């Protein structure tokens, strides 16, 4: 019985360690949300290649190269989640979902597409 308890404790410790390794710091989490908005705008054709590159670099600037993949993976997860339950061949439905996301408060708070002009 003691051995079984020790094995359970060890498994819980290892599981906790793995979960910690996969978690994102608040800054990485915020960056992944920003990058998801950039990906959605790129998919809709709102960004040129240069704009896409500039925005992507501005989001990832300040992070270690090793963190870039984690941030991108999380952003792709958001993007994939947006498409959940949509027919992949229904382009109108996909575009509607992406436009709704880009117009959402989540993306608007990022400020990428907010422009102020003063004369």
Quote the tokens at residue 48: 């040129």
Q: Considering the domain boundaries, does residue 67 fall inside one?
A: yes
What's the pLDDT score for residue 88? 72
10 pLDDT exceeds 50?
no
pLDDT in tens, 22-36: 556 888 888 999 999
17 pLDDT exceeds 50?
no
Q: Considering the domain boundaries, does residue 69 fall inside one?
A: yes
Q: Considering the domain boundaries, does residue 118 fall inside one?
A: no
Q: Considering the domain boundaries, does residue 43 fall inside one?
A: yes
Q: Considering the domain boundaries, does residue 54 fall inside one?
A: yes
CB atoms within 10 A of CB 25: 11
pTM of the model: 0.69
What's the pLDDT score for residue 65? 87
Q: Considering the domain boundaries, does residue 2 fall inside one?
A: no
- The residue behind tokens 């102020």 is 116
Residue 102 near residue 37 (C-beta atoms within 8 A) = yes
How many distinct structural domains can be found in the chain? 1
Domain span at 32: 25-108
Residue 55 near residue 75 (C-beta atoms within 8 A) = no
Position 47 confidence tier, pLDDT thresholds 50, 70, 90: very high
What's the pLDDT score for residue 111? 55
Spatial separation of the C-alpha atoms in residues 113 and 115, rounded to whole Å: 6
Q: Considering the domain boundaries, does residue 114 fall inside one?
A: no
Q: Considering the domain boundaries, does residue 47 fall inside one?
A: yes
What's the pLDDT score for residue 86? 78
pLDDT in tens, 52-110: 999 999 999 989 888 899 899 999 888 888 888 777 778 888 889 889 999 988 887 76
């Amino acid at each position: 019985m003691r051995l079984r308890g020790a094995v359970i404790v060890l498994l819980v410790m290892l599981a906790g360690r793995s979960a910690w390794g996969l978690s994102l710091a608040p800054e990485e989490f915020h960056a992944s949300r920003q990058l998801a908005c950039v990906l959605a705008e790129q998919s809709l054709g709102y960004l040129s290649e240069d704009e896409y590159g500039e925005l992507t670099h501005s989001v990832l600037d300040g992070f270690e190269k090793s963190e870039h993949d984690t941030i991108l993976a999380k952003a792709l997860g958001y993007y994939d989640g947006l498409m959940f339950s949509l027919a992949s061949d229904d382009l109108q439905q996909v575009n509607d979902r992406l436009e709704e996301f880009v117009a959402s408060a989540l993306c608007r708070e990022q400020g990428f597409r907010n422009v102020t002009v003063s004369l």
